[in-house]
Amino acid sequence: MIKYKMYGGSNMTVKVAVLTSGGDAPGMNAAIRAVIRSGLLAGYEMFAIFEGFRGIIENKIVSVDRTFVSEIIMRGGTILKTARFPEFRDSKVVEKAAENLRFYGITHLIVIGGDGSYRGAYALSKHGIKIIGIPATIDNDVMGTEQTIGFDTALNTITEAVDKLRDTSSSHHRCSIIEVMGNRCGDLALYSGTACGVDLIISPEYRPSEEEIIETLKNINLNRARHALVIVSEKQFEDLEKLRERIVEETGFDAKIEVLGRIQRGGSPTASDRVLAGRLGVYAIDLIAKGIDNVCVGLVDGRLRHHAIAEVTKSTNPNLDELLNVIDKLK
């Protein structure tokens, strides 16, 4: 069991803390490893904070060495644990968190997480804490980067599941309606649907009407297809069961809803996610060495870039016209 030490420290040296926040994502551990190892190499004192922003308030803060991150690069989840902490919307709670970090002498905080985590980090930056954000979420909905840590692993998990569902769906003249995660971003649906060659994709960015869905499936059945695959982003329908019932009544297909759920968050990270996590973690420490803070790091056109956290938290989803064009032409 981790014992959390309370102690003050000198502000004469750079002290860097790292936490994970929000939903877990495969590759978070690889990012933690990269941050701590490169930070120690730079001569910084490194701290780990357990259970996200809640851990700052509850003083779950420990000084760590290189051995702390041994044998974690291949592990899913996060060794630092994570927690939703809605109380962090309260400015008094944020102020208390900043005070606690200063008590430990922590000068910089690296936050690994999604857009909600960035908003919490931005709030801390207004209280004098120097922030670096690292994007990690399976939803791929963080601005300032073309890919987040965890997205590739989740995409591979979905692809494998859909390939298996194709086998059973084709055996039963069935329409499989496969719900994937993504929150308000359709990247998981769009990319997995393209990778699997499904018959229909339904996402916030690519949203056929119910009539179009029914008509498409009717035509698929008339063409003597043995089955149909539909991928839908979560939160697109108030009642997905009603759509399933319409498909059964009007298209001639049997239909089943397959909710992949939190299995999409789990598993050992892919090589791509491990490498991305390593690059972004080292880059975050490099920026601290250059005196750059209150930014979020990311990958743009394949290159490491950083953007002001104030701008990233106000941005909207990137343009997906190229991918949507591909989807249209591969129907």
Residues with active-site annotation: 139
- Identify the H or E element spanning 6: none
**Helix (H), strand (E), coil (C) string for 33-80:** HHHHHHHHHCCCEEEEECCHHHHHHCCCEEEECHHHHCCCCCCCCCCC
Query: What structural domains and CATH numbers belong to the chain?
Result: 15-150+269-315 (3.40.50.450), 151-266 (3.40.50.460)
- This prediction's pTM: 0.92
Enumerate the H helices of the chain as residue ranges.
Answer: 28-41, 52-57, 91-103, 115-125, 151-171, 187-196, 210-222, 240-251, 271-289, 309-312, 321-329
Residue 151 to residue 135: CA distance in whole angstroms:
10
Give dist(CA 131, CA 146) in Å, integer.
21
Query: Tens digits of per-residue pLDDT, 51-70?
Result: 999 999 999 999 999 999 99
Q: Residue 256 CB: number of other CB atoms within 10 A? A: 17
Q: Are 128 and 149 in contact (CB under 8 A)?
A: no
List average pLDDT for each run of 10 residues in the chain, which is 331 residues long.
43 84 96 97 96 96 96 97 88 95 96 94 95 97 94 98 92 93 92 95 92 94 86 94 95 94 96 98 97 96 94 68 79 71
The residue with tokens 């003083």 is 59
Residue at token pair 């996200």: 52
Element (H, E) at 134: strand 130-135
Q: What is the pLDDT of residue 314?
A: 66
Q: What is the pLDDT of residues 288-317, one digit of tens each?
A: 999 999 999 999 999 999 999 988 876 555
User: Which residues make beta-bridge pairs with 303?
Assistant: 300
Return the pLDDT at 318. Answer: 61
Cα 135 from Cα 114, distance rounded (Å): 6
Residue 83 near residue 54, CB atoms below 8 Å: yes
